Amino acid sequence: MIKYLFFIFLFCISNVYAYERVHIAVSSNFIEPLDLIKKQFLKKNKIIITTSKGSTAKLFSQIINNAPIDIFLSADQLTIKKLPDNKKIQGSEFTYAIGKLVIFSKSKILKQLKLGKFLNQKLSNKIVIGNPKFSPYGLASKQVLESLGIWSLFKNKIILASNINQVSSFIYSGNADLGIISNSDKLKLKKYEFGYFKEIPQNLYLPIKQDVILLENARNNNKAKLFFNFLKSKDTKKIIKSFGYGVTD
Domains (ranges, CATH) in the chain?
2-98+208-242 (3.40.190.10), 101-199 (3.40.190.10)
Average pLDDT over residues 129-154: 92
Angle, helix 222-230 to helix 31-42, in steps of 10 degrees: 120
Predicted confidence band of residue 20 (pLDDT cuts 50, 70, 90) = confident
Is the pLDDT confidence value at 4 over 50? no
DSSP H helix total and E strand total for the chain? 11, 10
Select the highest-mean-pLDDT range: 54-58, 60-64, 148-152, 188-192. Answer: 60-64
Angle, helix 164-172 to helix 183-190, in steps of 10 degrees: 40
d(CA 161, CA 169): 9
pLDDT digits (tens, 9 = 90+) for 192-236: 667 889 999 999 999 999 999 999 999 999 999 999 999 999 999
pLDDT digits (tens, 9 = 90+) for 55-109: 899 999 999 999 999 999 999 999 999 999 999 999 999 999 999 999 998 888 8
Is the pLDDT confidence value at 32 over 50? yes
- Paired with 180 in beta bridges are 103
d(CA 227, CA 229): 5
d(CA 179, CA 106): 9
Is the pLDDT confidence value at 23 over 90? yes
